[in-house]
Amino acid sequence: MNTESVETVIIGAGQAGLSTGHHLRKRNKEFLILDGNARVGDQWRAQWDTLRLYTPRKYDGLAGMPFPGTPWSYPTKDEVADYLASYAARFDLPIRSSTRVEKLEAYGDRYALTTSTGTIHADNVVVATGTFGRTPYLPDFAVDLDPAIRQLHSSEYRRSEQLKDGPVLVVGGSHSGTDIAYEVATSHPTVLCGRDPGQIPVRLDSLGAHVFFPVFLFVGKHVVTRRTPIGRKAKEDIRFHGGPMLRVKRSDLLARGVERVQDRVTGVRDGLPVLGDDRVLDVANVVWATGFKQVFDWIRLPIFGADGWPVEERGVVTDAPGLFFCGLSFQFAFSSMVLPGVGRDAAYVAKRIAARSGRSLAAA
């Protein structure tokens, strides 16, 4: 395989990676974006069919390119995918698709990336592989469920037709679990279990959203940050328990006949799921809306905390000069995980990369 040298490698061609690339381009910095998918936007195309963004188009554009369409409508997941592809093309960002990074390690004072197509040496690396990771979290006892029960993680769920006839248990009460439970309840008796994470106070399709979103995004960008007590508490809640209900409300679940249970699934008995109150649920399907694990075992560097998350400050890894992250949940603020907020984090990371390469040139 070939070996090449690049000043900065960005891993991931999602919104975080593309935005970081755009800001590096504005600073005339050399970079290459690697992505394991065949096309830009494929990570969005793989979501469930009816998924729409929770923020209006008015706020969803990345730097230099507004999101097209009616400002107060909500893009579908395919529209987001197409927007990202158009963004990459408009700014002619250098992307190498179908290239998976298999290992990242130190190489003297640089980094070596072993990929599916060769080895790359880089001064800087930006890991932009996703907000919560790509490895589904499932409880250990999931393997003990009756094989006749259809099990799907939310990342595998596309539409209710994937499910068998009979009752459905959706595990996880955050916005993804709530949305899926609401959808499948049109065709299956549905139980939604897990802690209630709260809900935003307005309907996304109401006039009230026009007032709510500017305030919500200001708070999400400037108040609920890692610098404030409320932000630090929210960071732990959201990273490990998920965010509040957004589009679907408690009243919607009730109206559609979803049984809402706040007990957790604690185990299996006779092949069936058991709740914390010892109730056994006789179901034909289980959808695990239980989030993802941060699995960075391909990064061979001692930069991770006991919780599995990288130890970084605004995406800068102090213990590994030249290593950065972008697109993490609560990288700086609540807004870091959504399109309206990722650009600020990307701009900050690009600024730090430019400053670092400037120091390197001065030293040389």
Q: Is the pTM of this model over 0.85?
A: yes
Q: What's the pLDDT band for 234 if we cut at 50, 70, 90? A: confident
Other residues' Cβ atoms within 10 Å of the Cβ of residue 231: 19
Residue 121 vs residues 28, 81, 104, 105: alpha-carbon distances, Å: 20, 30, 10, 10
3-state secondary structure of 339: helix
CA dist 253 and 250 (Å) reads 5
CA dist 266 and 264 (Å) reads 6
Give the pLDDT of residue 132.
61
> In the chain, what are the domains?
2-133+294-363 (3.50.50.60), 137-288 (3.50.50.60)
What is the distance of C-alpha 329 from the center of its chain? Answer: 7
Please measure the distance between the N-terminal and C-terminal CA atoms of the chain and give it in whole angstroms: 30
Q: What's the pLDDT band for 363 if we cut at 50, 70, 90? A: very low
Q: Which residues of 163-191 are buried (b: 16+ CB within 10 A; e: fewer)?
A: beeebbbbbbbbbbbbbbbbbbbeebebb
Least confident range of 222-226, 227-231, 242-246 = 242-246
pLDDT in tens, 141-164: 999 999 999 999 999 999 999 999
Give the pLDDT of residue 362.
41
Residue % of the chain over a pLDDT of 90: 84
Task: Compute the half-sphere exposure of residue 43: CA atoms within 13 Å on the CB side of its CA.
Answer: 19
What is the distance of C-alpha 128 from the center of its chain? Answer: 10
CB 241 within 8 A of CB 198: no
Q: Which residues are CB-neighbours of 161 under 8 A, at least 6 positions away?
A: none
| 164-193 average pLDDT score | 96
pLDDT in tens, 65-94: 999 999 999 999 999 999 999 999 999 999
